[in-house]
Chain A
């Protein structure tokens, strides 16, 4: 058993933290959120140069051959900095799907460009009626000669506007809530018949509603096996949950440290408010919530390579429940303990709280995952 980073992983961690310190003060981040792309292409190029984008990719695709722990280190840093560049959608979601399911040609075409910062990806899996059920897919893909015709709608697709490719889940067989009959397609963003409605999200990122009106794709758009896409979606969802857990830990670390600092300086009734026992106890509980979240983030990351699918699924759900609960507590209390200042847009507190709150809704909130977990014997 070992909870320490290797030397290389520690260097990666240092590089992210330096970047966050130097390039990501809140004012700069807030400017990016209102820019046209919603992030900085220059930052993206820097991330490619620093080796972040290929950190989890095998060397044959221009990566450095890391795995889940490298992703965790990066996502924790992304959480610390509230980084808005599309690492999660491009690398964790899209990149992992291509790596898991793409044929040799696809992988050699897309992954080196991804590592070099030249290609961005998004994953369209959410449908409104499905809420958090990954198998509830109504978008259809109907066989048409050699290719397929996609019809339907996808929602809240993270960073769809900037993506060159969009991975889309669609039904090729069965009824809307069947586990079988789902297929993944890799669709270029500019394909005729695909329309987007782009918008910012509450936490300052970007997302889109996608409409597929008889979108024609070739047979080469298929990612993985026909009708058997759910196993891919669930696999990448486990990776996504581990990554989001790490991001949440990064956010919570900052909230805990900022709040702690504030409590030592803010004077009321003739003393720093951190001297009041009721506040000390609240902070002790926030500290514990952070520690326990970190533990579950580590466990979720390391279990990704466990061969037992049930253990993997249970661990992902457990992590999501823990993170959801802790993030809500730490976020809400950080605002509360900052008093009126905590409500302002100027302070970083609210921005971390918003991101943490949105993380809970991604790939299933705590209630959803508590039920998922409880369903196992």
Chain B
């Protein structure tokens, strides 16, 4: 047993750290660390930098243009990026649809789509959820009816994150009704810039405009853009859900947020002293910090199992579950650190370059919104209730 990373990994860590420090644009770093709103261009610039370095797809094998990194290297990369204040790479292309395409796609799909993902030419969104099919994904009702070389797709997708920026959507559609409801689903790649696609933003109660309703009316999709076999889309969707587990715990991000919390508590006053000197508040920070440590080393234990060729199964549902609970708790403490100054709602203050005087503490403006926004984390990607079901059924056999 040994807690330290070996010298080889430490060298890798130093390389990543040096690269990120030298190449992450200052304005992007500041936006991320202050919790300000990022524009599409911010993501594009950072992703282009990673792309030029060949680091945009850490999880892909080298033959498709990935880094070929081990799970441990990917973990270190994620942690270093979070530490430096880099935005996370938007996962829909590289983490989600990319591995489905190189694993199940046709040669034509591989040679067309994969380079476009690596170059950030296409921006993907995920067309899974529907108004009537959330966690019960398999009950989806968007239909794709065969018409010669095309499918004609009709239906509505919802909670579609960043659809407003996307040029492509990977989409689960119903192509048959035979058998169980998981059967008769197909996996289509849909061009967003065509007639019949209508994107309606869903404004969330934190003021965010990240998610959308996407209506598809007689949308024509070439049969060549179906991944794998007709009616076997569920298999590919499940592969996608289980494929990329690195980073689901968000440990690096949470560590950075705890540092931010301590910085803020060391500036704000309460009861005639700094908030950080209030034993009760300190104890709450300590509590979540300890929870994060327990999660971090559980994450690392599982990672070492992956490295040894025995990847854990459904156990890793706990990484998403605890990771998101901890993120929510930290965001709650960050907001609480502001006291009354959690109240002012100044949407413009979330934009970089806003140069009016802040109301109250300089860091206050985004914190309540971030707290409200974080509530989504225990809902998306399979609610935490679903994750508990998975552990109970697949790990404990109940």
Contacts and interface: CB of A to CB of B under 8 A. Distances in A.
- The answer to whether A and B come from one shared complex is yes
Given A2-B304, A303-B3, A321-B287, A374 B294 contact: no
Contacts of B287: 321, 370
The A interface is mostly helix, strand or loop, or mixed, namely helix
Interface of A: 1-5, 69, 260, 263-264, 274-275, 277, 279-281, 283-285, 287-288, 291-296, 298-299, 301-303, 318, 321-322, 370-371, 373-375
A296 B297 contact: yes
A371 B279 contact: yes
A252 to B, nearest CB: 13
Contacts of B6: 1
A295 B301 contact: yes
B50 interface: no
Given A295-B294, A295-B301, A370-B286, A285 B388 contact: yes
A156 B365 CA distance: 53
Contact of A292 (B5, B322, B389, B395): B322
A20 B302 CA distance: 28
18 contacts: A1-B4, A1-B72, A3-B304, A260-B396, A263-B398, A277-B389, A280-B392, A280-B396, A281-B388, A281-B389, A284-B396, A295-B301, A296-B297, A299-B3, A318-B289, A318-B290, A371-B279, A374-B279
Contact of B318 (A260, A291, A322): A291
A191 B392 CA distance: 57
B295 interface: yes
Interface of B: 1-6, 9, 72, 279, 282-283, 285-287, 289-291, 293-298, 300-301, 304, 308, 315, 318, 321-322, 385, 387-389, 391-393, 395-398
Contacts of B389: 277, 280-281, 284
A371 B9 CA distance: 34
Given A280-B388, A284-B392, A287-B396, A292 B1 contact: no
Given A2-B304, A371-B283, A280 B290 contact: no
A299 B299 CA distance: 13
Nearest to B389: A280
B289 to A, nearest CB: 8
* Most central of A294, A322, A370 by chain B CB within 10 Å: A370
A263 B393 CA distance: 12
Nearest to A272: B398
A189 to B, nearest CB: 36
B391 to A, nearest CB: 4
A2 B283 contact: no
Nearest to A286: B396
A260 B395 CA distance: 11
* Most central of B301, B387, B389 by chain A CB within 10 Å: B301
Nearest to B1: A69
> Which 5 A-B pairs have CB atoms at the shortest separation, nearest pair first?
A280-B392, A295-B297, A374-B286, A292-B294, A284-B388
Contacts of A281: 385, 388-389, 392
A374 B1 contact: no
B294 A302 contact: no
B295 to A, nearest CB: 7
A1 B2 CA distance: 5
A302 B2 contact: yes
Given A281-B385, A292-B322, A287 B286 contact: no
* Most central of B4, B391, B393, B398 by chain A CB within 10 Å: B398
A374 B72 CA distance: 30
* Most central of B289, B294, B296, B393 by chain A CB within 10 Å: B294
Given A292-B322, A298-B297, A371-B283, A5 B1 contact: yes
Given A1-B3, A3-B300, 19 more contacts: A1-B72, A2-B304, A3-B304, A4-B1, A69-B1, A264-B398, A274-B398, A275-B398, A283-B392, A284-B318, A287-B395, A294-B298, A294-B301, A296-B293, A299-B293, A299-B297, A303-B3, A370-B283, A374-B285
Nearest to A1: B5
Contacts of A3: 1, 300-301, 304
B141 to A, nearest CB: 25
Given A292-B322, A321-B287, A264 B397 contact: yes
Given A295-B298, A295-B301, A288 B322 contact: yes
B290 A373 contact: yes
B282 A374 contact: yes
Contacts of A295: 294-298, 300-301
A69 B291 CA distance: 23
A340 to B, nearest CB: 21
A285 B5 CA distance: 30
A275 B9 CA distance: 44
* Most central of A2, A3, A294, A318 by chain B CB within 10 Å: A3
A375 B5 CA distance: 28
A371 B297 CA distance: 22
Contacts of A277: 389
A298 B392 CA distance: 25
Given A69-B1, A264-B398, A291-B318, A1 B388 contact: no
A26 B298 CA distance: 31
Contacts of B398: 260, 263-264, 274-275, 279-280, 283
* Most central of A277, A288, A296, A301 by chain B CB within 10 Å: A288
A291 B301 CA distance: 10
Contacts of B289: 318, 373
Contacts of A294: 298, 301
Nearest to A326: B294
A318 B294 CA distance: 9
B283 A283 contact: no
B396 A292 contact: no
Nearest to B5: A1
Nearest to B315: A291
Nearest to A323: B294
